[in-house]
Chains A and B, each alone.
Chain A
Amino acid sequence: MSIFLTLARRELAALFLSVTGYIIIAAVTLLIGLGFVVFLTNLGSDPTLVPVTEMFYSSYFFWLILLVAGPVITMRLFALEKSSGTYENLMTTPVSDVEVVAAKFAAALVFYLIMWLPLLACLGVVSRFTQQPGALDPGAIGGTYLGIFLVGALFLSLGCFASAISRTQMGAAMIAFVLGVAFFSLGFLASALPATAQWQSNFLSYFGVFGQMRDFARGVVDTRAVIFYVSLTLFFLFLTLRAVESRRWK
């Protein structure tokens, strides 16, 4: 456990000791702020009954952050260590592969959550200036953050896997981005299928990140979705672990 904490702390510190971490946070804060301004303007001219969190999630700023931040945070995890050679240093200390993968993923996840904190400030602004007491529902905010957490964890695990199989950071980021976009698009495929394709569209609807996120933003927590995200995240972490172990049978 102490090795896990030591490793995770270093990974997190590495993001803040280099300029990368600050650039990511600044970019995300800018995008969140832009999205917020856009929907506040719309709200001013066109009042609606839709919860604030749902409006925010359906803006493309939100999805841009989700799809881009994952690869950018995770690309360095393994690929940078491999290209700089420190991977050799790391893997010849008495740490297990599981500890390395878990620590790197945990550090990425913590950073990702820190990155989303500015959204709270935006919601705070809404609650401070709104006349409607029900504009912000704690359930909806909790649901939104749970959705951000689950979807993010999945995208980060995709990124971890991409980084573990790449030698360069650029390669890792590209693979992770392609995987993320492919995954995101799968959900839309369900609606594009002909009505006769019953089981296919049923199957594909599980991958509907967009629809599931809408439920979360409304404060509806569907256990099927939660289990789906958690198990897929674990699956990709398992693949990452195998990729890390692969140097022993290559």
Chain B
Amino acid sequence: MIEVTDLTKRYAGRTAVAGISFAVNRGEIVGLLGPNGAGKSTTMRILSTFLPATSGTVRVAGYDVFHDSVEVRRRIGFMPENNPLYLEMRVREYLKFRARLKGLGWARSRQRVDTVMEQCGLTDVRRRIIGQLSKGYRQRVGLADALVHDPELIILDEPTIGLDPNQIRSVRQLIKSLAGNHTVLISTHILPEAEMMCSRMLIMFEGKILAADTPENLQRQMAGNSQVIAEIAAPVAELQRVWQEVPEIEQYDISAAEGEFYRCALTPRDGHDLRPQIFALTREHGWTLRELTRSRHSLEDIYVQVTRRNEEDKENG
């Protein structure tokens, strides 16, 4: 559905996207993940034909975004960053206007607008002025707009930013429900969000794609070196002695917690999962264990890890 080859975008003096290549298949939900300024929005703007690329080619549904821009635009639903809308219009009026702009006939646009309003939960506010709606509703109007012409490809730039947890959940469910019939490309900087919605993630950093895989595989790669936190009630000296004796523990750090508990942060060697072993040890020594967790990687950790791996590759090769 999307083929990006060697895409580069340079603004005056600054490279926003540096020679990225990726492909997205029909029916996939792909997450573009990265911190602010990684080049996500620029990539999406180029995909949606709003900006030209400095070099490289981008094809959407077989059409070149630069040469067959109108054909591409017919096939995409794009929700830009910050979801700009005409605030003075009413919800239904706005969606009908957008449907007509996207080339739907009079009867068809009416029918589609009713469908997407139903789908996005906007039927109750259809006569309200967009400027007076809450941010969550506005976001849904933006989504409804992206869906209104039933496009093959839906591009959403940070669709859940600034929403409260309930609204985020409903937007996520909506996006998940699009899988299969539509191809969806969403950008986010929240890792769990991408894990929840996407069948594949592309991690962008400083204009490059650092990793592209399923969320499970990425987690598995990262989980290898994740720390285990254990809060145990036991004498410090004994804890130190035990941790030193376990060969799988590379490093440990003990700090006092409330009461007689101590908080131990244990770093494993070679990607071992330390949890079963720690549980066995506490039982063996008769200690009280009140917490045992393996820290999940935050997005920052992943960036750090992937960038470090890239640098190592460079040094080795």
Whether A89 is near chain B, meaning CB under 8 Å from some CB there, is: yes
A10–B86 Cα gap in the complex (Å)? Answer: 10
- Subset of 30 A-B contacts with CB under 8 Å: A2-B100, A3-B100, A3-B103, A6-B97, A6-B100, A10-B97, A13-B89, A14-B86, A17-B89, A18-B88, A88-B48, A88-B78, A88-B84, A89-B78, A89-B84, A89-B85, A89-B145, A91-B50, A92-B73, A92-B76, A92-B78, A92-B80, A93-B102, A94-B70, A94-B74, A94-B101, A94-B103, A247-B51, A248-B66, A249-B52
A91–B89 Cα gap in the complex (Å)? Answer: 18
Residue in A10, A89, A95 whose beta carbon sits within 8 Å of that of B80 in the complex: A89
Query: When A and B form their complex, which 6 residue pairs have the shortest distance between CB atoms, in order from nearest?
Result: A85-B84, A88-B80, A17-B88, A94-B73, A6-B100, A86-B84
Contacts of B275 in A (CB 8 A): none
Nearest-CB residue, chain A, relative to B77: A92
Whether A191 is near chain B, meaning CB under 8 Å from some CB there, is: no
Extra contacts besides A88-B80, A93-B102, A94-B70 (12): CB < 8 Å: A3-B100, A3-B103, A14-B86, A17-B89, A85-B81, A85-B82, A85-B84, A88-B48, A88-B78, A89-B85, A92-B48, A92-B76
Nearest-CB residue, chain B, relative to A10: B97
Q: Are A88 and B45 in contact (CB under 8 A)?
A: yes
Contacts of A7 in B (CB 8 A): 101
Residues facing A in B13-45 (CB within 8 A) are 45
Whether B160 is near chain A, meaning CB under 8 Å from some CB there, is: no
Chain A 77-92 interface mask (CB, 8 Å, partner B; 1/0): 0000000111011111
Q: Are A92 and B50 in contact (CB under 8 A)?
A: yes
Nearest-CB residue, chain A, relative to B101: A93
Whether B126 is near chain A, meaning CB under 8 Å from some CB there, is: no
A241–B100 Cα gap in the complex (Å)? Answer: 22
B residues within 8 Å of A by Cβ? Answer: 45, 48-52, 66, 70, 73-74, 76, 78, 80-82, 84-86, 88-89, 97-98, 100-103, 145
**B159: min CB distance to chain A, Å:** 14
Q: Are A96 and B70 in contact (CB under 8 A)?
A: yes
A91–B69 Cα gap in the complex (Å)? Answer: 10
Contacts of B51 in A (CB 8 A): 247
Chain A 3-21 interface mask (CB, 8 Å, partner B; 1/0): 1001100100110011000
A residues within 8 Å of B by Cβ? Answer: 2-3, 6-7, 10, 13-14, 17-18, 84-86, 88-96, 247-250
**B82: min CB distance to chain A, Å:** 6
Contacts of B145 in A (CB 8 A): 89
**B194: min CB distance to chain A, Å:** 23
From known contacts A88-B45, A89-B145, infer whether A14 and B88 are also in contact, taking CB-CB under 8 Å. Answer: yes
